[in-house]
Amino acid sequence: GAGVSQSPSNKVTEKGKDVELRCDPISGHTALYWYRQRLGQGLEFLIYFQGNSAPDKSGLPSDRFSAERTGESVSTLTIQRTQQEDSAVYLCASSLLSYNEQFFGPGTRLTVL
Amino acid sequence: AQSVTQLGSHVSVSEGALVLLRCNYSSSVPPYLFWYVQYPNQGLQLLLKYTTGATLVKGINGFEAEFKKSETSFHLTKPSAHMSDAAEYFCAVSERGGGFKTIFGAGTRLFVKA
């Protein structure tokens, strides 16, 4: 079946612009995660959605970052007034239940000039 | 609260040598444990997982890991390293029960020397 998809695959933007990143999880997966991975570094947890519960936003680095999820389907991560330090690969993952193995999308590579 | 510690951000081994990547966790309840691998310029994929039952679990590409409750460890091993094993390895823990998120370790980059 279809895996996790993310769009766009690459995004180049100018400092100060807003960007929106999209994640389509595997159908039926109740949990959805966003991570940031800077070049050569590990996974930085950003936000976690589980079913209809309030999302865990504890990893969002600033109020310029926000995310939404429509039910148990698509999620969007929005970064407002982008800064150069936001440049990274943004990964989305979904899992059937919160504690199951995660399936990762290919990521969106964001470059802020 | 759960947490994961991976000892050593970089590990270098010779081809054919034993691979040992260390992972310790903390969890208030019996956890689910995972190892993920990220090959160069590729996405993350599951290497192996422990949920219940046998504490020694086998994964893809000859890797295995053993859950040791007394040591709160889940170290990853492979008897003989291949050049193709060079990658970033992430240990992760989830607490059993709905509503608990998965926490990843910082990762260990494995280098394999010819």
Non-local CB neighbours of B42 within 8 Å, separated by 6+ positions: none
Instruction: Assess contact for B94 and B100: CB atoms under 8 A.
Output: yes
Question: What is the mean predicted confidence (pLDDT) over A89-112?
Answer: 90
Q: What is the DSSP string of A6-39?
A: EE-SEEEE-TT--EEEEEEPPTT--EEEEEEE-T
> Does A43 contact B43 at a Cβ distance shorter than 8 Å?
no
Interchain pair A99, B43: CB under 8 A: no
Q: What is the mean pLDDT of each run of 10 residues along chain B (114 residues)?
A: 88 97 88 92 90 91 94 96 96 73 89 96
Inter-chain contacts counted by CB atoms under 8 A, chains A and B: 60
Selected residue with higher pLDDT from A54 and B110: B110
Lookup result for tokens 């199951």: A100
CB-CB under 8 Å, B46 with A48: no
B7, B104, B111: which to substitute to probe chain A, counting the most A Cβ within 10 Å?
B104
- Report yes or no: A58 at the B interface, CB cutoff 8 Å: no
Check CB contact under 8 Å for B96 and A91: no
**Cβ B58 vs Cβ B49: under 8 Å:** no
